[in-house]
């Protein structure tokens, strides 16, 4: 069956969704059936400024995903679908969605897209279990600081040992010179 001609408003919607798929670090597909407008508003607020939560028609979202070069989502486009387009930290968005879904079981995480590849609902949950980017960077910085301190001590040890050796030689030479001077004076 050939594709039906798309009206201008639908073409605009597909183009916008395609751009959202391409410009997002991750996208999470959810089913929102039964949630109130107030609950959806709360969800949008919980997701923050770096995540856009949009309700979309399945046919348009499916076409946009295909246009964006994303495959493997076709089975997820059934029932009422909303997309969380994440432009910031995907872990934080996944955590927010998971927490909201715990409090509001009518929100169902279907799956999503991460780094251009389709992921399952379980993979979205595993993503939510990770620590945020900031926490991971802080841990990395702490580990690097510790390593740098150890490296500095390691580099400093031979230097201080060399200084002590040179000082011991100088002291020995000095005491040897003093003994020679003492023996010369005794003669």
Residues 29 and 94 in one domain: yes
The pLDDT tens digits of the residues spanning 39-53 come to 999 999 999 899 999
Section 113-140 average pLDDT: 80
Confidence of residue 88 (pLDDT cuts 50, 70, 90): confident
Q: Is residue 3 part of a domain?
A: no
For the cut 50, the answer to whether the pLDDT of residue 93 exceeds it is yes
Does the pTM of the predicted model rise above 0.75?
no
Domain span at residue 136 reads 132-187
Residues 15 and 104 in one domain: yes
Q: What is the pLDDT of residue 1?
A: 45
The pLDDT tens digits of the residues spanning 7-62 come to 788 889 999 999 999 999 999 999 999 999 999 999 999 998 999 999 999 999 99
Residues 124 and 174 in one domain: no
Q: Is residue 1 part of a domain?
A: no
Total tally of structural domains belonging to the chain = 2
Section 162-180 average pLDDT: 72
Section 70-83 average pLDDT: 91
For the cut 70, the answer to whether the pLDDT of residue 158 exceeds it is no
Residues 99 and 167 in one domain: no
Give 50-53 contacts, CB < 8 A, sequence gap 24+: 50/86, 50/87, 50/88, 50/89, 50/92, 50/93, 51/84, 51/85, 51/86, 51/87, 51/88, 51/93, 51/96, 52/20, 52/84, 52/85, 52/87, 53/82, 53/83, 53/84, 53/85
- Among 100, 130, 160, the domain-final residue is 130
Identify the CATH number of the domain in which residue 82 sits: 3.30.70.1730
Q: Is residue 2 part of a domain?
A: no
Residues 140 and 126 in one domain: no
- Among 84, 110, 130, the domain-final residue is 130
For the cut 60, the answer to whether the pLDDT of residue 5 exceeds it is no
Confidence of residue 185 (pLDDT cuts 50, 70, 90): low
Residues 26 and 115 in one domain: yes
Residues 110 and 148 in one domain: no
């Amino acid at each position: 069956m050939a594709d039906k001609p798309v009206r201008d408003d639908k073409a605009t919607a597909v183009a916008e969704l395609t751009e959202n798929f391409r410009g997002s670090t991750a996208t999470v597909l959810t089913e929102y059936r039964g949630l109130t407008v107030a609950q959806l508003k709360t969800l949008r607020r919980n997701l923050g400024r770096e995540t856009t939560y949009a309700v979309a028609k399945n046919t348009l979202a499916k076409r946009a995903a295909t246009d964006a070069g994303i495959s493997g989502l076709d089975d997820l486009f059934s029932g009422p679908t909303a997309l969380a387009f994440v432009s910031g930290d995907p872990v934080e968005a996944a955590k927010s969605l998971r927490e909201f879904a715990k409090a509001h079981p009518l929100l169902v995480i279907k799956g999503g897209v991460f780094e251009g590849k389709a992921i399952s609902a379980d993979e979205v949950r595993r993503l939510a279990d990770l620590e945020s980017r900031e926490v991971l960077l802080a841990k990395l910085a702490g580990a690097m600081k510790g390593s740098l301190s150890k490296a500095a001590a390691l580099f400093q040890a031979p230097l201080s040992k060399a200084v002590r050796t040179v000082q011991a030689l100088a002291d020995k030479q000095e005491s040897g010179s003093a003994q020679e001077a003492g023996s010369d004076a005794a003669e």
